[in-house]
C-alpha cells in the first residue's frame, strides 16, 4: 500500500523550517508521497499578516514543483467551521482507502495529543510521525509514545530533529519591511512572495461587523443570536456613555458567546489543546463546563476563527461570565451588557430595570449588583458557585451604596 506523510500548518508562508521537516520525514520514514495540508485561513485577516488561501496554496505548489513526491492537499480549506485533525484524517482515509497516512506533528503537539479531539480516531486513520526538538528529546518522546500506545493504540514514529530557529511571523515582518528573505524560505516561495507582493500591505484597521453578525447567525441558536445582537447594541450604548471604543464594544458584544454551542466535550478539548486552564469542577461537571468554559474558548475562537487580535476585546470575551476584580472599562461594559441586554428577563434584586438604569450612570455599582444577583441566584438554587464570581463580588462590593 502507498504511504503518504502529511504535514499540516498555516504555511503563512511556508519556510525553510518546514522544508527541513519534509526532508527529515522523507529520510526517516521513506514515504512514497509527502502531502502539505494548509489549514484554513481565519476569515477577514488583513493581507499584510495573512496571505489568502490561494496564495498559500500557490506558494506550496511552487515549492512542490521542485519534487516528484510532494503534493498539496486542500481538504481542510474546503471544510466547514473549526477543523479537527480527527475529522480531517477520517475524511482522507475514507477517500483514499489505498493509502497509509502518516500524520506529522511537532513534539509540543505530541505532548498534548491525549487532549486532542478524538485522538483514537486520528490513530485509527493515520500513523503518527513525531518530530523531537531541542527541549523535548527522543527519550522523552519514546516514553510518550509508550503511554499513547497503551491508551489509544496506533503506530508511531519518532523523527530526531533539530528545528531551525525560524518562524512565519519573522518572515512576514521581514517581507513587510521589504527586507531580504533569501535562505529563510525555499527559493521558489521567495520568488512567489516577491512577485505577488505578499505581506507588504499597510496594516488594515477596523472589523467587518456585518460579516461577524452573519457568522454568529450561522453559529448560534436563534435565541442566543438575538441575545448577542442585544449585547452588541447595549455594549455600544454603554461605550458611548463612558467614552470607550464603541467599535470594540460592538465586536466583543456580537462575539462574546461565539463558543456557546460547542458543548462541554469540545469546550474541554479546545481548552486542553490550547493550554487554557480547566478546573477540576469544569472537568467533571458538564453544566459548569458549559457555563464557564464558553467564555474562555470564545476568546480563543474570536482570535483564531474570527481574526480578532485586540487584547481588550479578547479579554472582554474571556471574562464576560465571571468578571474579575479591577476590570478595564470594556470588560465591565460586556459583562454588564450580557446581564442587562433587552431580551433578558431574569428576576433579581434590586430588579433588572434598576440595574439597567444604574448601568448608564454608575457602571461599577451596576457591576456589583449584577454580580450579586448572579451569586444570589446560584446560591438560592443550590448550584455550584465559582470562586471567580466571588472574587468579583468581593472587589465590587466597595461600590454597593444604598438605595
Ligand atoms: Fe456567555
Ligand atoms: Fe451572553
Q: Looking at residue 120, which CATH number applies to its domain?
A: 3.40.50.620
Q: Indicate if 119 and 152 belong to the same structural domain.
A: yes
Distance CA 345, CA 352 (A): 8
Q: Which ligand is nearest to the CA of 344?
A: 2
Kindly give the distance from the C-alpha atom of residue 295 to the centroid of ligand 1, in angstroms, as a whole number.
6
| Nearest bound ligand to the CA of residue 231 | 2
**CA distances in angstroms from 201 to 140, 300, 309, 358, listed in the order given:** 43, 26, 17, 45
Domain CATH code at residue 327: 1.10.3210.10
Expressed in angstroms and rounded, the spacing between residue 393 Cα and the centre of ligand 1 is 18
Q: Is 261 found in the same domain as 376?
A: yes
Domain around 70: 2-196
d(C-alpha 321, C-alpha 350), whole Å: 20
CA of 258 to the centre of ligand 1 (A): 8
362 and 301 in one domain? yes
CA 5/CA 26 separation, integer angstroms: 8
* Residue pair 186/36 in contact by the 8 Å Cβ criterion: no
Is the separation of the CB atoms in 356 and 363 below 8 Å?
no
For ligand 2, the distance from its centroid to the CA atom of residue 338, given in whole angstroms, is 5
Task: Answer whether residue 204 is part of any domain.
Answer: no
Residue 102 near residue 127 (C-beta atoms within 8 A): yes
Q: What is the pLDDT of residue 131?
A: 95
Ligand nearest to the CA of 322: 1
Ligand nearest the Cα atom of residue 334: 2
CA nearest neighbour of 216 among 246, 180, 184, 260:
260
Strand partners for 359: none
Question: What spacing in Å lies between the alpha carbon of 255 and ligand 1's midpoint?
Answer: 10
186 with 215, same domain?
no
Q: 83 C-alpha vs ligand 2 centroid, how far in Å?
A: 24
CA of 294 to the centre of ligand 1 (A): 7
Mean pLDDT across the chain? 92
**Do residue 134 and residue 256 come from a single domain?**
no
Domain check: are 227 and 171 in the same one?
Answer: no
Contact predicate 302/270, CB 8 Å: no
Q: How far apart are CA 400 and CA 369, in angstroms?
A: 7
Rounded CA gap, 276 and 150, in Å?
26
| Sheet strands (E) in 97-231 | 99-106, 127-131, 156-159
Q: How many A from CA of 126 to the centre of ligand 1?
A: 37
Maximal CA-CA distance, the chain: 78
Q: 273 and 310 share a domain?
A: yes
pLDDT at 92: 97
How high is the pLDDT of residue 169? 87
Number of domains in the chain: 2
Phi, psi for residue 367 in degrees, rounded to 5? -60, -40
Residues 138 and 242 in one domain: no
Only one residue has cell 499578516, namely 49
Q: Is residue 244 part of a domain?
A: yes
From the CA of 39, how far away is ligand 2's center (Å)?
Answer: 29
Q: Is residue 309 part of a domain?
A: yes
**Has residue 133 been placed in a domain?**
yes
Q: How far is the CA of 380 from the centre of ligand 2 (A)?
A: 21
Mark the ranges of the chain whose per-residue pLDDT is less than 50. 44, 203
Tell me the C-alpha distance between 362 and 356, whole Å: 10
> Is 9 part of a structural domain of the chain?
yes
pLDDT value of position 199: 84
So what's the pLDDT on residue 65? Answer: 96
Q: How many CA atoms lie within 13 A of 155 on its CB side?
A: 9
| pLDDT for residue 203 | 47
Amino acid at each position: 500500500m502507498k504511504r503518504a506523510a502529511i504535514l499540516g500548518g498555516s504555511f503563512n508562508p511556508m519556510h525553510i523550517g518546514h522544508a527541513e521537516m519534509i526532508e527529515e520525514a522523507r529520510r526517516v520514514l521513506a514515504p512514497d508521497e509527502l502531502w502539505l495540508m494548509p489549514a484554513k485561513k481565519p476569515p477577514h485577516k488583513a493581507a499584510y499578516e495573512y496571505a489568502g488561501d490561494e496564495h498559500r496554496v500557490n506558494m506550496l505548489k511552487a515549492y512542490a514543483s521542485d519534487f516528484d513526491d510532494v503534493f498539496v492537499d486542500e481538504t481542510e480549506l474546503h471544510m466547514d467551521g473549526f477543523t479537527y485533525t480527527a475529522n480531517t484524517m477520517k475524511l482522507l482515509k475514507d477517500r483514499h482507502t489505498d493509502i497509509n497516512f502518516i500524520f506529522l506533528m511537532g513534539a509540543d503537539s505530541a505532548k498534548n495529543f491525549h487532549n486532542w479531539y478524538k485522538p483514537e480516531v486520528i490513530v485509527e486513520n493515520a500513523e503518527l510521525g513525531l518530530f523531537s526538538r531541542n527541549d523535548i528529546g527522543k527519550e522523552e518522546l519514546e516514553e510518550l509514545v509508550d503511554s499513547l500506545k497503551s491508551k489509544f493504540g496506533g503506530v508511531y514514529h519518532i523523527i530526531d530533529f533539530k528545528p531551525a530557529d525560524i518562524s512565519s511571523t519573522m518572515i512576514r515582518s521581514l517581507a513587510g519591511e521589504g527586507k531580504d528573505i533569501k535562505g529563510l524560505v525555499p527559493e521558489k516561495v521567495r520568488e512567489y512572495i516577491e512577485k505577488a507582493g505578499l505581506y507588504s500591505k499597510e496594516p488594515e484597521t477596523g472589523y467587518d461587523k456585518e460579516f461577524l453578525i452573519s457568522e454568529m447567525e450561522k453559529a448560534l441558536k436563534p435565541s442566543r443570536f438575538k441575545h448577542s445582537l442585544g449585547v452588541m447594541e447595549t455594549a455600544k450604548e454603554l461605550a458611548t456613555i463612558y467614552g470607550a471604543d464603541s467599535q470594540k464594544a460592538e465586536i466583543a458584544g456580537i462575539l462574546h458567546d461565539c463558543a456557546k454551542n460547542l458543548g462541554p466535550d469540545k469546550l474541554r478539548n479546545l481548552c486542553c489543546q490550547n493550554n487554557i486552564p480547566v478546573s477540576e469542577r469544569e472537568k467533571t461537571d458538564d453544566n459548569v463546563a458549559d457555563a464557564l468554559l464558553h467564555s474562555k474558548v470564545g476568546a480563543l475562537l474570536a482570535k483564531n476563527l474570527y481574526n480578532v487580535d485586540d487584547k481588550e476585546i479578547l479579554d472582554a470575551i474571556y471574562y464576560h461570565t465571571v468578571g474579575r476584580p479591577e476590570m478595564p472599562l470594556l470588560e465591565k461594559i460586556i459583562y454588564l451588557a450580557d446581564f442587562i441586554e433587552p431580551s433578558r428577563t431574569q428576576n433579581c434584586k434590586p430588579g433588572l430595570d434598576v440595574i439597567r438604569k444604574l448601568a448608564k450612570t454608575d457602571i461599577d455599582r451596576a457591576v456589583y449588583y449584577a454580580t450579586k444577583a448572579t451569586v444570589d441566584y446560584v446560591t438560592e438554587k443550590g448550584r455550584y458557585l465559582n470562586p471567580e464570581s466571588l472574587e468579583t463580588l468581593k472587589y465590587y462590593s466597595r461600590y454597593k451604596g444604598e438605595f
